[in-house]
């Protein structure tokens, strides 16, 4: 009976030791992962435009470590807030968070916003299809060229220019060719004021 009790104690001690080592190893792995990663947040905003509404279909946000022109090496950020966005609701300093994720520390060469084909523009109350060439749907490549340091947070702003992004074909059709400026959030700002005299359709650039 005594021998059995001693064996049980030995097994219990061994089990607790294994659990402790496993837990320590897991925590170490998590610490290593956090120590080798940076937090990356991507926001979207827009400049005013002479349209009622401009809806774009966001399907993905991707990054690439280098600045090569090849279409290889792109990685989706994951957990991207996909869906339809009215760009003209994102003016006057209003921004929309598209992604906020951890990424490996190191060089960040490019960011691109990938759009679907369900884009529309509303002109004089009429909703019209906003045709998007396949080359534009694959994403506009925006140069970053920044080294992401481990443990730090980086925020980038995708700033649409609606007036330059929409092309009127002249036959009642419209084409979307996104013109986007990329800015680091800490280096961006907004200007507020009043236009005088007051105009019905005023666009500030």
Q: What is the pLDDT of residues 140-182, one digit of tens each?
A: 889 999 999 999 999 999 999 999 999 999 888 999 998 999 9
Convert 5-37 to b/e letters by CB count within 10 Å (16 or more is b). eeeeeeeeeeeeeeeeeeeeeeeeeeeeeeeeb
CA distance 82 to 71: 22
Mean pLDDT is lowest, of 51-55, 78-82, 107-111, 195-199, for 195-199
pLDDT of 110 > 90? The answer is: yes
Q: What is the pLDDT of residues 3-22, one digit of tens each?
A: 444 454 444 454 444 334 34
Nearest 5°: phi and psi at 166? -110, 130
pLDDT of 1 > 60? The answer is: no
Helix (H) or strand (E) holding 58: strand 53-64
Q: Summarize the confidence of residues 38-55 as an average pLDDT.
A: 95
The tokens 């170490």 sit on which residue? 28
Helix (H) or strand (E) holding 167: strand 166-168
Q: Summarize the confidence of residues 173-194 as an average pLDDT.
A: 78
pLDDT the model gives residue 67: 87
Q: What is the mean pLDDT of the chain?
A: 81
71 pLDDT band (50/70/90 cuts)?
Answer: confident
pLDDT the model gives residue 70: 79
pLDDT the model gives residue 72: 86
Looking at per-residue pLDDT, the higher value among 43 and 139 belongs to 43
Q: Summarize the confidence of residues 182-197 as an average pLDDT.
A: 68
pLDDT the model gives residue 136: 56
47 pLDDT band (50/70/90 cuts)?
Answer: very high
pLDDT the model gives residue 203: 62
pLDDT of 62 > 60? The answer is: yes
């Amino acid at each position: 009976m005594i021998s059995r009790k001693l064996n049980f104690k030995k097994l219990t001690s061994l089990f607790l030791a294994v659990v402790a080592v496993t837990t320590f190893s897991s925590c170490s792995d998590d610490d290593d992962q956090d120590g080798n990663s940076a937090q990356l947040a991507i926001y979207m905003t827009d400049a005013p435009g002479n349209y009622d509404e401009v809806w774009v279909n966001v399907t993905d946000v991707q990054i690439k470590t280098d600045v090569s022109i090849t279409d290889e090496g792109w990685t989706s950020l994951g957990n991207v807030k996909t869906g339809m966005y009215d760009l003209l609701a994102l003016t006057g300093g209003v921004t929309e968070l598209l992604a906020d994720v951890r990424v490996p520390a190191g060089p960040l060469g490019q960011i691109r916003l990938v759009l679907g084909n369900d884009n529309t523009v509303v002109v004089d109350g009429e909703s019209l299809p906003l045709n998007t060439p396949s080359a534009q749907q694959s994403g506009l490549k925006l140069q970053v060229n920044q080294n992401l340091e481990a443990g730090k947070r980086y925020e980038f702003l995708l700033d649409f220019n609606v007036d330059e992004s929409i092309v009127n074909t002249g036959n009642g059709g419209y084409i979307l060719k996104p013109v986007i400026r990329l800015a680091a959030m800490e280096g961006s700002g907004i200007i507020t004021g009043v236009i005088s005299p007051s105009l019905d359709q005023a666009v500030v650039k």
